[in-house]
Amino acid sequence: SQTIHQWPATLVQPVGSPLSLECTVEGTSNPNLYWYRQAAGRGLQLLFYSVGIGQISSEVPQNLSASRPQDRQFILSSKKLLLSDSGFYLCAWSPGLLFDSNQPQHFGDGTRLSIL
Amino acid sequence: EDQVTQSPEALRLQEGESSSLNCSYTVSGLRGLFWYRQDPGKGPEFLFTLYSAGEEKEKERLKATLTKKESFLHITAPKPEDSATYLCAVQAPGSARQLTFGSGTQLTVLP
């Protein structure tokens, strides 16, 4: 079966510091990968998605970037964090071969990021 | 622009008191409507996908239905362990990579 792992679970960072959140998927090949942010009491906002190694699409221009150095690894980064970057960050995957079909996305347990 | 509106924002039920959650959507050509359950501090857990009006899916005490404008998540005789936030999301043609999520309904079932 497929599993998705995110770490760390909780992170407290000062304003202006760098960020690196990691997500890995096991049990599948060529997955589509996604990064979302969820504000308190709000729905999920898609930040980035990737259909393959080195292929990143950005949905919302902002202070963050994403990279996919390996097939099942997705990294969310920032060079300098802003207060507005606080939130709950979620990684998700869906089957890659069926990318253009309506397959569900499956989520990790998220990282709670607090900027001080 | 795709829009998803969920109501109510919060719902408190007594154990055994059945009710329904609503998800209204505006999308040009629905490819799929998804229901997720989210527990506090956790990622959303996939429940159902509905593809066309008239379709129904069931899982234990949950039943999801779909019309051309909205979806309902019916909860029959809920238990305290059904307490969670329920999210719905839509997927449209030409944007198969993207789900548009509603803000969710926070359900509390009291013993």
B25-62 tens-digit pLDDT: 998 888 899 999 999 999 999 999 999 999 999 999 99
Position B96 scores a pLDDT of 46
Mean per-residue pLDDT of chain B: 93
Q: Inspect the interface and report whether the beta carbons of A109 and B31 lie closer than 8 Å.
A: no
- Residues in a beta bridge with B24: B5, B70
Cβ contact B97–A101 (<8 Å): no
Predicted local confidence at residue A82, as pLDDT: 94
What local confidence, expressed as pLDDT, does residue B98 receive? 77
- Residue whose C-alpha is closest to residue A61's, from A74, A46, A50: A46
CA A73 to the chain's CA centroid: 10
Structure confidence at residue B1 (pLDDT): 79
The chain B residue lying nearest A87, using CA atoms, is B41
B111 has which bridge partners? none
| Nearest residue, CB atoms, A41 vs list B31, B97, B103 | B103
The whole-number average pLDDT for the span A39-55 is: 87
Residue B89 reports pLDDT greater than 60: yes
What pLDDT does A101 receive? Answer: 63
Dist CA A95 CA A93 (whole Å): 7
Mean predicted confidence (pLDDT) in B87-91: 93
Q: What is the pLDDT of residue A114?
A: 95
B-interface mutation test, from A102, A103, A109, most B Cβ less than 10 A away: A102
- How does DSSP assign B70-91, residue by residue? EEEEEE-S--GGG-EEEEEEEE
Radius of gyration of chain B (CA): 13
Residue with more model confidence, A64 or A99: A64
Cis peptide leading into B8, omega within 30 of 0? yes
Q: What's the rounded mean pLDDT across residues B58-75? A: 97
Higher-scoring residue by pLDDT: B93, A101: B93
Percentage of residues in chain B with pLDDT exceeding 90?
Answer: 82
